[in-house]
């Protein structure tokens, strides 16, 4: 099959399949519109069929600050490390790396009996923040793990949230450390 023919035959199916997968993982409408070329009407219909309710309205989160708070930073860093692996080692394209990376993130969190604080939409927003250069990864000087940081913050002497958790985090620290 030629590339063009394959696109015409499978393109539509692939887009719908992707949309269904994204909806099942919790994608918001803006994410679906951005990652597929399906119409808003089509996506809304799919969403209602799968979720049994209308997609939530409202803006997507637009601030990088959430990703810097203690537990979200650990979860975001875990996800982004997996995402990069999928992109570079498993040679996925960006959206497939996101879907596979997010599934693996969920598996990790479930295995540790932790709560998935990072939604798919947040994960997608994070990737866009990386793409636009707002955030970066920096190594922790104690454990060597790489963590999400503001791009313009000084990275020298950085200690991550696992190595230096806030005291109020004591209860969930163990779960986080084993992540």
163 binds Zn ion (CB under 5 A): yes
151 binds Zn ion (CB under 5 A): no
Q: Is 143 annotated as a binding residue?
A: yes
179 binds Zn ion (CB under 5 A): no
One character per residue 105-144, x = contact with Zn ion (rule: CB under 5 A): -----------------------------------x-xx-
Looking at beta carbons only, is 61 or 139 nearer to Zn ion? Answer: 139
Q: Is 92 annotated as a binding residue?
A: no
Tell me the site size for Zn ion, rule CB under 5 A: 5
Smallest gap from Cβ 153 to Zn ion, in A, equals 16
Got the DSSP string for the chain? --HHHHHHHHHHHHHHHHHHHHHHTT--HHHHHHH----HHHHHHHHHHHHSSPPPPSPPP--SGGGGSHHHHHHHHHHHHHHHHHHHTS---HHHHHHHHHHHHHHHHHHTT----S-HHHHHHHHHHHHTTSEEEEE-TTT--EEEEETTS--TT---TTTS--GGGHHHHHHHHT-
Looking at beta carbons only, is 49 or 153 nearer to Zn ion? Answer: 153
Segment contacting Zn ion (CB under 5 A): 38-46, 79-87, 129-137, 162-170?
A: 162-170
Q: Please state the φ and ψ torsions of residue 147, each to the nearest 5 degrees.
A: -130, 150
Q: Which residues are annotated as a binding site for Zn(2+)?
A: 140, 143, 160, 163
Residues annotated within a binding site = 140, 143, 160, 163
Contact residues: Zn ion, CB under 5 A: 140, 142-143, 160, 163
């Amino acid at each position: 099959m030629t590339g063009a023919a394959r696109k015409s035959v499978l393109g539509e199916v692939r887009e719908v399949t992707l949309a269904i997968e994204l909806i099942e993982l919790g994608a918001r409408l803006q994410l679906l519109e951005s990652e597929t070329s399906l119409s808003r009407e089509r996506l809304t219909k799919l969403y209602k069929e799968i979720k049994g309710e209308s997609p939530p309205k409202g803006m997507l989160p637009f601030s990088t600050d959430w990703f810097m708070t203690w537990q979200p930073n650990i979860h975001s860093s875990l996800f982004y490390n997996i995402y990069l692996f999928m992109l570079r080692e498993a040679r996925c394209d960006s959206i497939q790396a996101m879907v596979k990376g997010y599934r693996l993130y969920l598996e990790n969190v479930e295995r540790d009996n932790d709560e998935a604080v990072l939604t798919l939409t947040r994960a997608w927003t994070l990737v866009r923040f990386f793409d636009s250069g707002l955030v970066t990864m920096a190594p922790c000087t104690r454990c060597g793990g790489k963590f999400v940081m503001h791009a313009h913050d000084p990275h020298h002497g950085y200690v991550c949230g696992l190595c230096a958790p806030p005291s109020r985090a004591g209860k969930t620290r163990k779960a986080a450390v084993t992540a």
